[in-house]
Structure 1
Amino acid sequence: MDKKFEEAVKDFPILTRKINDEPLLYLDNAATSQTPNPVLDQIVSFYQNTNANVHRGVYTLANDATTAYENVREQVAAFIHADEAKSIVYTRSTTDGLNLVASSFGDLVVHEDDEILITIMEHHSNLIPWQQLAQRKHAKLKYVELAADQTLDMADFKRKLTERTKIVAVTQTSNVLGVTNPIKEITKLAHQQQAYVVVDAAQSAAHQTIDVQDLDADFLAFSGHKMLGPTGIGVLYGKLDLLNEMAPIQFGGEMIETVSRTQAKWQTAPWKFEAGTPNIGGVIGLGAAITYLNKLGMPWIEATEHRLVTYLLPQLAQITGLTMYGPKTVAKHESIVAFNLRDLHPHDVATGLDMLGVEVRAGHHCAQPLMTTLGVESTVRASMSFYNSLADMDRFVYDLKMVKEFFNRES
C-alpha cells in the first residue's frame, strides 16, 4: 500500500470511530471533508498562543495575529496561482463569495434585457444569486443543458452565449454528476463576447490543481471545510481591477479608511469586503489545510482519487437496478458518484448504509433544477477523498448490495 496514504490516514482520528458498532466509512466528502490533526493543532495553537484581533492593535499579540492572517492570504494566492494576494477576499463560504459577486459586481454590469448564462448542473449557491439578480435587474437568466452523456453541452453553451451575455457562472466540478467542466474554453468564449466568468470551485479546490491565471477566470470561489479546513471560512478570488470597481455590501469596522458624521471612505480591496472581526481562527485553519494539501501534493491527490473512481464505477455498473448519473466513462468522472436503486428511496438506501457504518448523502444535493432534468427528486451520493482506499470501495459495494437485498426481501 502507498506509504503516503498510510501516513495520511493516521492524521484523521475520526476515521477510527464506530457508527452503529461498525467501523466508520466516510463517503460524504463533497459536503464536508474531514480535518487532519495538523490542521486542528494549528488552530488550537493560534488560540493558545496568538489570539488577538487583527489590523487594530499595535501590541505584540495583535501584530503576530495580523501577520499570520495576512500570510495565509499570500498562501491562498499561491495555492490557486493568483498573481497577487490582494485578489484574495476572505468570506464565510463559497456561497458568501458568490453572493458578493452577484450583489456587488452583478449590479454594476447587468442591466435590463441583459443575459446571465449559467448551467443546469449548478448548486443552488451558484444559481439563486443569479436568479435574484436577473429578477432585480429585469435581465434574462439562461441555462446551458446537458449533453447525452450528462456532461455540459458545449454546443448549447455556444448557441446561448450572445453579445447580450454579461455574466457566465459555472461550476468547475458538479457536486452531483462528478464531471469537471472545460472552464478555460468557457472563459475564452465568454471573453470574446465581453462577458465575465464566475467559477464555483467548491468541489474542485481540494481535488485538482487550480490556476486562475491559466483559466483566466474573473472570479472564483471555494470553501475551507471542503478542503480539510474548518467551517465558516471561504475564499473569493477576483481580478484586482474588478474588485477595485466593486462596492462593499457589508459595512462596519475593519473595512473603512475614514468616517465622518455624514460619509465614509472605504479601504482598498480586499479589505473593504471584510467588514467586522473576521474568522481569524478559520483563516489560520485554512492556511494549515493548504499546507497539508501541498505536502501531499495535488498530483498525488488527483491520482489517488482517480484510482478510486476507476475501481468503483465498473462495480456499481454491475448492480442490477442501479442507475448512475453523470458520465459513464471514468476519464470524465471525478470522485463524486450519484445513483439510485430501482424502487428504493434514496433516504432508505442512505439509512440502511448508515446502519452498516457507511456515511453517504441522500437528497437533491441543493441542485433541484438538475434533479428535474434527470427525472428524479433525489439521489444517493458517495463522494471520496484521498483518505479512502480500494478496500473502502469494496466494502461500500458489498454493503450497498446488502441494503438492496434487505429492502427487496422486506418488500
Structure 2
Amino acid sequence: MRFQSLNVLICSLIILTLSIELCAEEKAVRKRSDPSKINSPWDDLLAGINSPEEWIEHKKEIRKQYLKLIRDEFKPKKPALELQFHDTVIVDGVYRRQLISYQVEKNERAHAFLGVPLSLRGPAPAIVALHGTYAYGKKRAAGLIDNPDKAYLDHLCRRGYVVIAPDHFVAGHRIPQEGPYDTTAFYKKHPQWTAVGKFTYEHSIAIDVLESLKEVNPDKIGALGHSLGGHGTMFLAAYDERVQAAAGNCSASFFRQNSKVEAWSRDRWYVYFKHIRPGLLEGELPPIDFHEIMALIAPRAFLDLSGLNDGDPLTQRQRVLMLLKVMDVYELEKAPQNFAFYVHGKGHSVAHESRELMYGWMDTHLKPRSVTKTTLVIP
C-alpha cells in the first residue's frame, strides 16, 4: 500500500509539473501590440515645439547658448591668413601633399598638411580632417606615423578630395612647453575663452584656407574626425554653416547621463571648458548639451558613429536615445536623409566599416549624383 501511495504521489507531481509548464508556455505567447512612444531624458530638445517655424526660432536660442558655452565672444580678431607653403611631396603619383602654415591669431600660426589630387580637372570637394589626441597629430592624419586606420588625408585624397589636416593647437608644431595637450599656457593668454572655442575657431579658419584655393569648390566642404577630432567635427559643423557634410567617429560623452562629466572641466592637462568647473562640482550642468549642438547642424548632413562598449556602456546606450531625438529635428526640417548614426561593438576604434561609412557619407553629400548612382548591367 505504501508503494502504491508513493507511486500515486509521484504521478500526481509529474502531472502537476507538466500542467505548470503548459500554463507557462501559454502565458509566454506574445500578443500583437502597437508601438509605444519612447520617452527619454533628451525629449526637452523639442519640448513645446509644434511646427517648423517654432523650431527655427528655438534654434536661434540654442545657437546663442552654444556660443556662450564656448565663450565665442572672447575670441581674438581674425588676422590675415598669410598662407605659406613650406614643402611639397608627390605621393604615389596620386596627390600632392604640402606642409602649410597660416595665421590664426596675431603672431600665432597653425600648421597643417594639405593634400590635392593630381587628377583634378576643376574645383573639387574638400574636407577638414581632424586628428584625435595624439602628439604628432597631422602626421598621423597624413599616414606618416602610427595607425594607418586614421590616415584620413591619404585615404580621402585617393578618393578625389582636397584635404586639409591641421594640427590641434596643442599638438604637432605647437606642442606647449608644459607638454602635448596641456592648456595651461592657453588659459594664461586667454583666461576668458575656452579650449573648445579655440580649436573650433581655428578649424573654421582652416575652411578659410580651403576657400582660398582654386582647386576647391567652396560649396562642397565637409569635415570628419575620430575621438577628439570626432567631437571637434560636431563643434565645427554646428559653428560654421559652410560645412555641408560632417561625420564624427567615437566622439566624447555628453554632459547629462555621464558619471564622468567633470572630465569636461579638469583642473589639469587638457581643459575643455574651464568656466563650467564650479557648476559641475556643485552638480549643475551647462544649459546646453550634445543633442542641441547636433541639432544646430540640421538640415546639413551629419553622421554620428559610436561604440556601445566605448567607455561606460550605460552612457553609450543613452547616446542612441539622444540620436533618436536628433532625428526628430531632421524630420521637422524635412531633411531626414541628411542624418544617420551607426552603433557598433568595436570600442574606441575607426575600423574598416566605420571608415567606409564616413567616406561614403562624404561621397553621397559632396560629390555629384553620378558618382554614387548605380546602373543596370547592359546585355
Q: Same fold (TM over 0.5)?
A: no
Q: TM-score, normalised by structure 1?
A: 0.23
User: Which protein has the larger Cα radius of gyration, Structure 1 or Structure 2?
Assistant: 2
Taking CA–CA contacts closer than 8 Å with sequence separation of 6 or more, which of the two structures ends up with the larger relative contact order? Answer: 1
